Amino acid sequence: MGFLTFLRRDLEQILFPDRDPHAIPSMDGPFGPNDRLDEATPIGEPIPGADAVAEAADGAIFVSAGKKIWLLSGADYADRAVLTEFDAEVGALACHPDGRVLACTAHGLAAVEPATGRTTLLSEAGGEPLHCLTAVAIAPDGTIFASDGSTRHHAGDWCDDLMERNSLGRIIDSDTALRNAHVLLRDLNYPSGLAVADGQLWFTESFGHRLSRAAISAAGSLGASQVVIRNMPGYPSRLARSSDGGFWLSLFAVRTHLVEFVLREDDFREEMMRTIPKQYWVAPALANGGDCLEPMQFGGIKALGIQKPWAPPHSYGLVARLNRNGEAVESLHSRVGGRYHGVTAAIEAAQGLIVVSKGSGRVLLGKQDARP
């Protein structure tokens, strides 16, 4: 690193003491590695592009994949049908108490009435289009919150946003009819998970590696945000409430020293983005494509045809359960060489823990530890 890079780093640590110092915490204690995700049961055949999941009032689940929302129902979710199809990619989902399915699309936040197929769309907030919606949550009074990961890129281009080191994320709200949208928070580092609990809005910032919360006021605004976890071993994604009052947190990749180094080296990173195809960038991935041109990391090379599970990961599968204070209690892993990487959503449903591995295109029925 050059002198100016050192100077900038030192000044940031003085002026922004709560900012992530990029020291990757070790995965031990509740984050101790295991193979519990690989032991989960796949639900039916793969759903290519599976991204998010939400549970309906009758116990069925909705799964977003590509431009479709699938309905999985029956014992072991064996029955499968397409609920609706959009003309753009669809991501995060939530079920409104009135029965509508809220879906984050590349054109905005859509509300679908399952019985009629009628769709309402919220396409902008604060005069800017909503083309990178990553999560949606509903408050008890019907207020709808959504996170907009970036005002520059679409959700599918999350890696560009990471490599550009942007902080262009927002959190918005609207009324139950998807009107009167307001921008509540700006300049966030790719917010991608939301949950409402005890009068507070909890949210993750993927590229800030942190979990925060802010009080929801009666006037429809948010109080000052408070960092709950300031430095995670991975890139946090979506949040969902658990039955014990805590949360299920999905992390779509884990951090590595090589990627952290590249993020600090501006000249190298900019040349890499300019001259190398995106699939070969030194960056986190949702899945290991097995291409010999993919970036390798020392320790990740196969020995005797086996890739060691503790090797530095190019992709990884990770879900964590947090208690009501935001502290990690347990985790489920699919380690290097595992099958279910790139976890983008996890919810506690009537038939068990539902996990979406976008990297493998699989929806899984997982197990959790016995609660005290």
Q: Report the predicted TM-score, pTM, of the whole model to 2 decimal places.
A: 0.90
Number of H helices, E strands in the chain: 4, 26
- pLDDT tens figures, 146-162: 999 999 999 999 999 99
Q: Provide the mean pLDDT of the chain.
A: 90
188 assigned to some structural domain: yes
201 assigned to some structural domain: yes
301 assigned to some structural domain: no
CATH number at residue 218: 2.120.10.30
326 assigned to some structural domain: yes
- pLDDT tens figures, 190-216: 999 999 999 999 999 999 999 999 999
Model pLDDT, residue 337: 87
Number of domains comprising the chain: 1
CA atoms 91, 331, 309, 158: torsion sign: positive
294 assigned to some structural domain: no
How would you class 370 by CB atoms within 10 Å of its CB: exposed for 0-12, middle for 13-18, buried for 19 or more?
exposed
- Cα 349 to Cα 308: distance, rounded to the nearest angstrom: 33
**Angle between helix 266-275 and 257-264 (nearest 10):** 100
How would you class 119 by CB atoms within 10 Å of its CB: exposed for 0-12, middle for 13-18, buried for 19 or more?
middle
54 assigned to some structural domain: yes
67 assigned to some structural domain: yes
- Tell me what the mean pLDDT of segment 106-130 comes to: 92
Query: DSSP letters along 153-215, please?
Result: S-GGGHHHHHHTT---EEEEEE-TTS-S-EEEEEEES-EEEEEEETTEEEEEEGGGTEEEEEE
- pLDDT tens figures, 271-308: 999 999 998 999 999 998 767 777 665 556 666 666 77
Band of pLDDT at residue 217, cut at 50, 70 and 90: confident
56 assigned to some structural domain: yes
Strand spans (E) along 189-327: 191-197, 200-205, 210-215, 226-229, 234-241, 247-254, 317-322
Of 17-31, 58-72, 80-94, 130-144, least confident by mean pLDDT is 17-31
Question: Do 314 and 303 form a contact (C-beta atoms < 8 A)?
Answer: no
- pLDDT tens figures, 238-261: 999 999 999 999 999 999 999 999
- Cα 356 to Cα 54: distance, rounded to the nearest angstrom: 11
Quote the domain boundaries for residue 100: 3-289+313-366
- Cα 356 to Cα 346: distance, rounded to the nearest angstrom: 6
